[in-house]
Each structure stands twice: as C-alpha cells, then as structure tokens.
C-alpha cells in the first residue's frame, strides 16, 4: 500500500537581502533561521507579512497604499524541515511543487535539486539521493518575483481607475492582474510566493504520467466508449516488467482492466486503451456529465496502478466526466455550445482573479461556484488564466459549470507581448496536460481581446492539436466565430441590453453595489458617507464602469439619496434591473442572433462596488437573484425593448399546455388589468412570443407588471415582476409607496450533510406591493452575518395577498446557535420575534431613517 502524499508544513520566510548565505547553506540542518517569519504556505509573501502583523489587511480601506512596492523587487527564501518516512527505504522519493510565482531554485540538504519558472507549471523532483529514509531533511526554496513587475496606477477620485496592466505582461505565465486593473489595486508583492501546496511522495521505479481520458457517446446516449491514453516511465537504470491495472468507479459496478507492460531502462512507453483493445471500456447506459440546469454533472473516477510483482509502483486516481461537446450547429456559423447533443445557451460570468492575494482555500472556492450554480449560470470564463488552481476545476466539475479557459496574454493594449516564449509554452503545456480530464473545460483561449503574435498563435494551434484535440482552441476572446467582447461595462437602462450586435458576448457588465453590511466591512466608518478615495480604491471612480457618474444616475432615476443606507436600498433596484436585463435581453433572441452572454464580472477579487453577483465576503446582492431569475430553465419574461411577453424553454423537452397570466398594478398597488394567455407548446431550446403586453394608457406613470407561467395543472413554473414607467427612466415616485408589514414564519430543519436549513414563508397581507424584500441570515447571539449562506430566492417583490416560501442553507459549523433572519427592502417592515427556533427582525442598520441624513450624493440641477 502506497503512502498518501505528505504535505509539508512548518515553513519560514525571509527577505533574501537579509540572508547572507547560499542555498547549500540555507538548506543545511546547521543553518539558523532565527528571526525569520512563520510563513503561510500555500500563500504569498504579502500574506505571510500580513499574518505576521507587519502590515494590516491590504484589501481593507486604503491600507494597500501604505504597503511598499519594494516587496516585488526582492527575492525571498522559504525554508522548512520534514521527516522522511523509514518505510520509503528502497523507493524513489519525490518532491512536488503544485505552483510557485514566479521562479524558484530548490535545495534539499545542501544540494540543488531543481528549478521552476512560471506560476502555472508544476515541479516534480527526484530527491532520492539527497535524503535518507527515517531521517529529517531540510528544504530551502529561493523565490524570485517576476522580472517586470511594472509601475501601478493608483485608484483615486481625481485620477479615476487609471490604466490597466503594463510591463508585467512581458512575463506571461504569472498573475498579470496584480499590477492593478480597473477591478483590483496593485498587489504590492505581485503575488510572489509558494501559492499551492508542496508535497512528498514515494514510488517504485515505474511512474504513470499524463493520463488523458476521452469518451465517444452514441446519439441515443445508450452507450459510451472510453479511450485512455497514458505513459509509463521507467525512472531506474534497470528494465521493469509489470501490469497497468485500472478501475473505473461511478458507472454502476466497478469496471476493471489490466494490460502487461515491459520497460527498458530509463525509458517511457506510451499506452492507449480503447473499447476495441479493452472491451470493458464500452459502457452501456452511461451516466453522463451535464452542465448546470440540464442534468446531473455526474463524475466517474479512474484509478490506475502500475504493479510490479505484488508491489504497487505507483497509483493515480482522477475524476472525469462522460460527455460530448460540439461548437457549431447547422443553422449558424456562430459559436454555439452543445453538450450531449443539447444546445446550451451560455449564461455566465468572468473571473478576473479568484482572490487578490491568492487566499483561496477549497471551502471558499466551493462556495463561490455554488453561488454561480444557484444563480442558474452554466459557464465561467477564466480570464487570462488567472484562477488556475486544482480546486477551481474540481468545483466547476462538481457544480456543472462550463469553463472558457485562457492562457496568459492580456489585451495588447494592456501590455506588451510575452517575450520568454519557452517559459510561456512550458506553462501552457503543463496547464493543459494537468487539467484536460476535467469535463467542465470546453474552450481553450490564447488571448484576451486580441490575437497572439502569428508565429506564437500558429505554434499554439499545433500544440493544442497534440495536447487536446477534443476541445475548441480560440485564438482571441473577442473575435472569430461570432465572439465579441469590449463591454459596455456601466449601468444602463434595461432596454439597452436588448440591442444585440454580437453573437457570443464574452464581456459586458454593470455596477453592482453590495449590501450595506459588506460596505461597512470593507472600509472604516469615516468613509461610509463620503464617496472618496476609499470608494475609488474599491472601484467606484471614473473608468469603464463610469463609477463617477453612477451615484448621480442612481439619484436621477430613483430620487434624492439621503445616506449610505438609502444609496444601497436604491442601488439594489438598479442591480436587479440591469442584471436581469443583461440575461433576458439575450433570452429574447436565443439561438438566433445570440448564443451566449458572460457578465463582466460575476466574481470579485477584492471588496468592490462593481461587477459582481456577490461581495468579496460572499454576501450576495440583488444582482445574483436577478441573474437567477433570468436564467431559469423554464422562464417567463417581459421583453423590455418591445413589451412582448415571452417564454424561454432552455430544456431539451417541449413545454406543452401552459398558460401565462399578466397582471398590471398601478402605483397605488391596485390591479389595472389582468389577462391569461394559453400556450399550446414551446419547442425545446427556443424562446416563444406569447402576446404583446397592453397597458392602460391612463395608468399612473409608474406601474408594475407581474407575469405568472403555470402548467396544465396550475403549478407555478416561473414568476417575474417589473417596475416600469411610461416615460421609461423616472422612478422617483416609488418613494410614495407606503410601508408594507410582512408576515413571516420560519422553521429550522434538522442538520443534514453538515448543513442547517431554514424554511421561511413570507406573506404580504397588506394592500401595498412589497418591493425588493431582502433576507439576511445572522447569528442571534452575536448579531453577525452567517457567511456564506445560500438562499433559494431573495430580493422578492410580493403583490398584495402573495406568499412565497424560500429555503436558507448554511454550514452547520457556522450556525451553532439560534438563527436570526433580518429583513430589509425598499418599503418593507416586519415585526420582531424571538419565538420559536428562528428569530425574525427588521434590519435597522439598512433603514435610511436609522442614520442621519448626509446627502451622500449631492443633488444636481
């Protein structure tokens, strides 16, 4: 039985300029590391310094401004000691680096065992001759920052967000965004460090390498044929004979197979197995991997062992999914994704970087992907490959989120071409080989908003044919196959999202203001009521997002803004309008003029006011629930450009015998008109017009539209709610809506799968529409928010007499005491209650009346 990998811990770190010794000395047992920092590994240099209280949290307030740029101008020593198990005697002992940035020289017990270059390449080093089983060993790693860290642009009100990128692009495979972008300030160390774990393993002489699993699925989905390509390397000077033994789990009864292999000394033998040579690889009634919303993202597991005699030389296990991806349909030249023969309308978002300082524990990434799945999204674009970690891909597979995955070149306007081509290609190669078994990946893309230099593009095309011929290689994220980018990125009225000139839109966005608690948590109180440089540091300033204009637009649309709480209250209305329209605008002509839409961005790398579905602290705002609404599998919507009522059927089955009821309310919440329309059928993967909405021309200027789609049994399939104005853009009279007192009941379910669920029923017993009802889960004892929490719906608008039941779920470990559900909204109130096992309270912090008037947004004439 082989031992599990040993993850190294107990790291120390020091500025190389303060270490007057070479690697041979630093990696010796006799060397004293007195005065070194306790290092955070995996992590970055800046993370270690923050954890050691050298600097305060950089992403809070304006703290980053005081941290010196010198952090990216020096090299850093990392050092640790580890015990080599006595059981490793007679085996090959390997040292594995999953990821460093930017380059490293690696020493073990006084000897240099290797080097690395580029943030996205692994390092595997044979240290057998340098260590002794049963004894301690010393590892020292000299980490060098990227050679061209560039000059950052500070984000201020006066200067705006400034220029994106810079010379950092020359270095290619690194965290290019950390020089500073219009969604991230410059990270002072440029994320230099050991950013993924370091492990030790032991093997016999034969090693399994570069396994690639592909599948061919019958059109009927009744059979699948697997193909397994791998290689066996003999790392010894003696011939080796053995058997490659495989097991596949997850497709019913375990599937086993074996094939003999003979290896010459220091040689590598490629092996390909398919259903012709290995009939076990023909699978009846396979369980398929599907994108979110289309079926179960089913994963299987392949375990390969190379057995010599009775000993296992090496064992590898990896998940994979059986699915077929196609990129074009007969009636269009545009990029159109199909999975397992079903057209997938791509609705998703962009990730610029998973976290500004690469603080990305598995639990956090899992929650972020779960948020995307909750929002009914099905694709994430890994912009410039900045979020390339194993947990990222595992989460995408788990939640059925397709990946548009990129290499390491930004827009040519944001930095020069990469110059170290060998390092670039080595990192591209290792990334593809490392992750190509993940079913979530559907596109490999070379460059953001531009083409690589022709010679490099041609090289990459040839390389991808060799490494992964199963997927589309796209040279440019903004050109070819109907693909386009380039925004716009600012808030605009819903109707403007219906003007479609590009088929597959990889970037367009809007301002997306977080909850008031998230804003209060990202800056000191002195900055809450003044839109100043602290706000600019968090992306609310002049730039592509038009952050300097947004507060005045908000006030013009929704009325005078009293204070921060009022700013947030009205911003949630704007969030919902824009993000729903962003996806509904594409729904309106699905698979005709358009095949995909990816918001810029769905995920924030730092606390931000813009471009996000949830805040950095994982508190979702109205944008997430607007996207969730628009991206429903079966969806009813009002075309906000033409006023047509439409049904969107994303599923591969026909929707039969449904009906749509449209109800119009005036500003006093009185019914102005209602009508039900029968719908005989809506074909699979189509959008159908039901009828044109007719509004009484004498209705109040501001009015409301409620759409309800039901099946033949009266079951509600989709509901949607809009606020409109006959003059389109003036909603200042919403302030006249009376307060609505909602009736709330909540029960706590038993813990299941380490999660606590709360079932909440909200009823509007008043005669007034309750606009944008927001629930937020807190701990009753501490008053603090429970984060993350997952709401089946939120930011609800309820008409008189309407009731809605939702479920709130959170990790049981984060909710050990009594849960407290706090409510806010545009015009709602609730009665506080401590009865039962769930508390109910009005969120006073979110009420504009709770805070003094600051007139945070000056009135403009």
On whether the CB atoms of residues 202 and 94 are closer than 8 A, the answer is yes
On whether the CB atoms of residues 674 and 688 are closer than 8 A, the answer is no
On whether the CB atoms of residues 143 and 75 are closer than 8 A, the answer is yes
Checking if the pLDDT of 531 tops 70, the result is yes
Question: Which pLDDT does position 456 carry in this prediction?
Answer: 98
Question: Which pLDDT does position 332 carry in this prediction?
Answer: 85
Backbone angles phi, psi at 84, to 5 degrees: -90, 120
Partner residues linked to 342 by β-bridges: 339
431-443: average pLDDT = 98
On whether the CB atoms of residues 743 and 763 are closer than 8 A, the answer is yes
Checking if the pLDDT of 1 tops 60, the result is no
Angle at alpha carbon of residue 411, lines to 406 and 416, rounded to 5°: 110
518-545: average pLDDT = 98
Query: 3-class SS at 429?
Result: helix
822-834: average pLDDT = 96
Question: Which pLDDT does position 861 carry in this prediction?
Answer: 61
Joined together, the tokens standing for residue 758 give 């709360």
| pLDDT tier for residue 3 given thresholds of 50, 70 and 90 | confident
Joined together, the tokens standing for residue 311 give 């000993």
CB contact burial 147-178 (16+ within 10 A = b; e otherwise): ebbbebbbbbbeebbbbbbbebbbbbbbbbbb
On whether the CB atoms of residues 153 and 159 are closer than 8 A, the answer is yes
Q: What is the pLDDT of residues 74-107, one digit of tens each?
A: 999 999 999 999 999 999 999 999 999 999 999 9
Checking if the pLDDT of 449 tops 70, the result is yes
Checking if the pLDDT of 658 tops 80, the result is yes
Provide the pairing of β-strand 796-798 with 839-842. unpaired
Q: What is the pLDDT of residues 118-159, one digit of tens each?
A: 999 999 999 999 999 999 999 999 999 999 999 999 999 999
295-324: average pLDDT = 97
Rounded Cα distance, 627 and 647, in Å: 16
Checking if the pLDDT of 835 tops 80, the result is yes
| pLDDT tier for residue 846 given thresholds of 50, 70 and 90 | very high
Q: What is the pLDDT of residues 400-429, one digit of tens each?
A: 999 999 999 999 999 999 999 999 999 999
**Length of the chain counted residue by residue:** 861
| pLDDT tier for residue 860 given thresholds of 50, 70 and 90 | confident
794-798: average pLDDT = 98
Rounded Cα distance, 790 and 777, in Å: 9
Assign residue 45 a region (left: φ > 0; alpha: ψ between -120 and 50; beta: otherwise): alpha
Number of H helices, E strands in the chain: 11, 47
Rounded Cα distance, 113 and 103, in Å: 14
Rounded Cα distance, 550 and 529, in Å: 16
Rounded Cα distance, 762 and 80, in Å: 56
Peptide linkage before 44 cis (omega within 30 of 0):
no
Question: Which pLDDT does position 727 carry in this prediction?
Answer: 84
Q: Compute, in degrees rounded to 10, the torsion defined by CA atoms 352, 410, 435, 420.
A: -140
Q: Which long-range contacts (CB under 8 A, 24 or more apart) does 570-573 make?
A: 570/826, 571/511, 571/513, 572/513, 572/621, 572/622, 572/772, 572/774, 572/795, 572/826, 573/622, 573/723, 573/731, 573/734, 573/771, 573/772, 573/826
Q: Provide the percentage of residues in the chain whose pLDDT is more than 90.
A: 97
Q: What is the pLDDT of residues 364-389, one digit of tens each?
A: 999 999 999 999 999 999 999 999 99
Name the nearest CA neighbour of 480 among 347, 330, 333: 333
Name the nearest CA neighbour of 120 among 368, 320, 392: 392
On whether the CB atoms of residues 148 and 192 are closer than 8 A, the answer is no
On whether the CB atoms of residues 84 and 136 are closer than 8 A, the answer is yes
Checking if the pLDDT of 841 tops 80, the result is yes
514-521: average pLDDT = 98
Joined together, the tokens standing for residue 577 give 């309008």
Rounded Cα distance, 430 and 424, in Å: 10
Rounded Cα distance, 680 and 800, in Å: 30
Angle at alpha carbon of residue 19, lines to 18 and 24, rounded to 5°: 165
Question: Which pLDDT does position 825 carry in this prediction?
Answer: 98
517-546: average pLDDT = 98
Partner residues linked to 308 by β-bridges: 311
Question: Which pLDDT does position 655 carry in this prediction?
Answer: 98
Question: Which pLDDT does position 413 carry in this prediction?
Answer: 95
Distance of alpha carbon 198 from the chain centroid: 24
Q: SS3 letters for 168-214?
A: HHHHCCCCHHHHCECCECCCCCCCCEECCCEEEEEECCEEEEEEEEE
| pLDDT tier for residue 675 given thresholds of 50, 70 and 90 | very high
Query: 3-class SS at 812?
Result: helix
| pLDDT tier for residue 820 given thresholds of 50, 70 and 90 | very high
Q: What is the pLDDT of residues 11-43, one digit of tens each?
A: 999 999 999 999 999 999 999 999 999 999 999
Query: Integer distance in angstroms from the first to the last C-alpha of the chain?
Result: 77
In the sheet that 483-484 helps form, which strands lie side by side, from edge to edge? 472-476, 441-447, 402-406, 379-382, 346-351, 596-603, 504-508, 483-484
Close Cβ partners of 714 (under 8 Å, ≥ 6 residues apart):
none
Provide the pairing of β-strand 6-7 with 198-203. antiparallel
Checking if the pLDDT of 761 tops 60, the result is yes
Place of tokens 């791509």: 346
Q: Provide the percentage of residues in the chain whose pLDDT is more than 70.
A: 100
Rounded Cα distance, 576 and 623, in Å: 5
| pLDDT tier for residue 331 given thresholds of 50, 70 and 90 | confident
Checking if the pLDDT of 268 tops 60, the result is yes
Q: Compute, in degrees rounded to 10, the torsion defined by CA atoms 501, 507, 510, 514.
A: 150
Q: What is the pLDDT of residues 245-267, one digit of tens each?
A: 999 999 999 999 999 999 999 99
In the sheet that 716-725 helps form, which strands lie side by side, from edge to edge? 671-682, 655-665, 702-710, 716-725
Partner residues linked to 217 by β-bridges: 224
Average pLDDT score over the chain: 97
CB contact burial 291-324 (16+ within 10 A = b; e otherwise): bbbbbebbbbebebbbbbeeebbbeeeebbbbbb
Query: 3-class SS at 456?
Result: helix
Checking if the pLDDT of 595 tops 60, the result is yes
| pLDDT tier for residue 2 given thresholds of 50, 70 and 90 | low
Question: How is residue 346 annotated by DSSP?
Answer: E
Rounded Cα distance, 492 and 641, in Å: 13
């Amino acid at each position: 039985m082989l031992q599990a990998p040993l993850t190294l811990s107990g790291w120390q770190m020091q500025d190389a300029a303060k270490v007057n010794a070479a690697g041979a000395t630093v990696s010796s047992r006799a060397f004293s590391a007195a005065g070194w920092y306790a290092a955070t590994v995996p992590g970055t240099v800046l993370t270690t310094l923050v954890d050691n209280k050298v600097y305060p949290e950089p992403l809070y307030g304006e703290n980053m401004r005081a941290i010196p740029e010198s952090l990216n101008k020096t090299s850093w020593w990392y050092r640790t000691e580890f015990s080599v198990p006595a059981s490793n005697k007679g085996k090959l002992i390997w040292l594995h680096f999953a990821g460093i940035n930017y380059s490293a020289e690696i020493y073990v017990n006084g000897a240099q065992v290797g080097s690395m270059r580029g943030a996205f390449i692994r390092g595997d080093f044979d240290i057998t001759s340098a260590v002794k089983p049963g004894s301690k060993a010393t590892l020292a790693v000299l980490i060098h920052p990227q050679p061209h860290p560039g000059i950052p642009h500070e984000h201020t009100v006066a200067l705006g967000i400034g220029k994106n990128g810079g010379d950092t692009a020359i270095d290619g495979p690194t965290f290019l965004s950390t020089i500073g972008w219009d969604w991230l300030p410059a990270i002072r160390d440029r994320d230099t460090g050991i950013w993924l774990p370091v492990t030790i393993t032991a093997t016999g002489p034969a090693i399994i390498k570069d396994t690639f699993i592909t599948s061919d699925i019958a059109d009927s989905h009744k059979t699948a044929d697997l193909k397994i390509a791998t290689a066996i390397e003999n790392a010894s000077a003696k011939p080796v004979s053995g058997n490659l033994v495989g097991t596949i789990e997850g497709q019913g009864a375990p599937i086993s197979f074996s094939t003999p292999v003979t290896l010459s000394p220091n040689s590598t033998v490629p092996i390909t197995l398919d259903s012709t040579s290995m009939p076990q690889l023909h699978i009846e009634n396979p369980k398929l991997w599907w994108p979110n919303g289309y079926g179960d993202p089913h994963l299987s597991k392949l375990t390969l062992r190379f057995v010599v005699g009775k000993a296992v030389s090496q064992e590898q296990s990896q998940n994979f999914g059986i699915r077929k991806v196609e990129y074009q349909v007969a009636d269009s030249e545009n990029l159109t994704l199909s999975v397992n023969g079903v057209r997938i309308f791509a609705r998703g978002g962009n990730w610029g970087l998973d976290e500004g300082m690469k603080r990305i524990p598995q639990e956090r990434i899992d929650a972020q992907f779960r948020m995307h799945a909750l929002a009914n999204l099905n694709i994430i674009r890994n912009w410039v490959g900045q979020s390339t970690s194993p947990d990222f891909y595992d989460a995408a597979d788990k939640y059925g989120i397709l990946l548009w995955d990129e290499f390491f070149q930004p827009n040519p306007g944001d930095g020069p071409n990469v110059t170290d081509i060998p390092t670039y290609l080595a990192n591209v190669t290792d990334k593809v080989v490392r992750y190509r078994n993940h079913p979530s990946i559907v596109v490999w893309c070379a460059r953001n908003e531009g083409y690589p230099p022709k010679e490099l593009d041609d090289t990459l095309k040839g390389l991808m044919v060799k490494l992964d011929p199963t997927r589309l290689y796209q040279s440019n994220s903004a050109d070819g196959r109907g693909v386009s980018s380039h925004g716009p990125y600012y808030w605009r009225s819903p109707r403007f999202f219906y003007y479609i000139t590009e088929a597959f839109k990889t970037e367009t966005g809007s301002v997306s203001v977080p909850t008031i608690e998230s804003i209060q948590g990202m800056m000191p109180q002195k900055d809450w009521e003044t839109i100043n440089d602290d706000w600019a540091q968090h992306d609310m300033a002049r730039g592509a997002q038009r952050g300097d204009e947004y507060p005045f637009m908000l006030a013009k649309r929704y009325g005078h803004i009293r204070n921060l709480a009022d700013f947030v209250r009205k911003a949630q209305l704007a969030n919902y309008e824009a993000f729903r329209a962003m996806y509904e605008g594409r729904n309106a002509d699905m698979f005709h003029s358009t095949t995909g839409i990816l918001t810029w961005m769905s995920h924030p790398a730092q606390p931000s006011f813009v471009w996000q579905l949830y805040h950095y602290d994982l508190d979702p705002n109205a944008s997430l629930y607007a996207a969730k609404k628009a991206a429903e599998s079966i969806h009813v919507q009002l075309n906000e450009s033409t006023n047509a009522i439409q049904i969107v059927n994303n599923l591969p089955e026909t929707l039969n015998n449904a009906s749509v009821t449209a109800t119009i309310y005036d500003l006093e919440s009185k019914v102005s008109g209602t009508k039900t329309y029968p719908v005989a059928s809506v074909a699979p993967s189509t959008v159908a017009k039901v009828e044109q909405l007719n509004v009484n021309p004498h209705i109040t200027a501001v009015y409301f539209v409620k759409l309800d789609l039901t099946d033949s049994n009266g079951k509600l399939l989709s509901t949607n709610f809009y606020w409109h104005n006959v003059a389109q853009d003036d909603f200042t009279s919403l302030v006249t809506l009376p307060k609505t007192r909602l009736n709330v009941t909540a029960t706590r379910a038993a813990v299941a799968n380490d999660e606590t669920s709360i079932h909440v029923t909200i009823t509007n017993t008043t005669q007034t529409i309750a606009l944008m009802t927001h629930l937020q889960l807190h701990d009753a004892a501490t008053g603090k928010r429970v984060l993350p929490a997952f709401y089946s719906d939120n930011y609800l608008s309820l008409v008189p007499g309407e009731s809605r039941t939702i479920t709130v779920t959170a990790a049981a470990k984060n909710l050990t005491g009594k849960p407290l559900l706090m409510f806010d909204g545009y015009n709602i109130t609730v009665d506080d209650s401590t009865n039962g096992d769930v508390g109910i309270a009005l969120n006073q912090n979110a009420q504009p009346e709770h805070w003094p008037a600051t007139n945070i947004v000056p009135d403009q004439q």
